[in-house]
Structure formats: structure tokens, C-alpha cells
Amino acid sequence: MGGRDPVSEFMDKVKDFADKHDKQVDQGMEKAGDMVDRRTGGRYDEQIDRAVDQAQTRTGEGDQAR
């Protein structure tokens, strides 16, 4: 059988993509956070911003624009 399990291989590919495309990943997370904020009527604005910032930090440089 050998080899790694498909989930581990997929996660490695995701990490590689995030490392190579940090700016695009950060922009995507920012857009997703904005969408969630709109759909919740801004009730969770601070929590959403913190979550996006933490996710951006974990995927590379993080959001340098703030």
C-alpha cells in the first residue's frame, strides 16, 4: 500500500499554495470576513476581524495593510 493518506497530501498542497500565494489568500479571507459581516448585520464585526487577522497570520505574512 505505502504512501501517505490523501488528506495529508491535500493539506500539504493547501499549505504550499498558501505559502506561494499569501497575498491572494489574505485577500480571499478579507472578502469572506466582509461577506460574513454583511450577512450578520455587523453584529460580530470585532470577532470576525480578529478571526480573519489570526487566520492571515497563520498563513504567512498576515494583513500588512491594517
Contact yes or no for 60/22 (Cβ under 8 A): yes
Q: Which residue has the higher pLDDT, 41 or 18?
A: 41
3-30 per-position pLDDT tens digit: 789 999 998 998 888 888 888 989 999 9
**Residue 62 in this model has a pLDDT that exceeds 80:** no
**Residue 66 in this model has a pLDDT that exceeds 50:** no
Contact yes or no for 19/60 (Cβ under 8 A): yes
Mean pLDDT to the nearest integer, 42-59: 92
Q: What is the pLDDT, as a whole number, of residue 43?
A: 97
Query: What integer best gives the mean pLDDT of the chain?
Result: 86
> Can you give 1-64 as a three-state secondary structure string?
CCCCCHHHHHHHHHHHHHHHCHHHHHHHHHHHHHHHHHHCCCCCHHHHHHHHHHHHHHCCCCCC
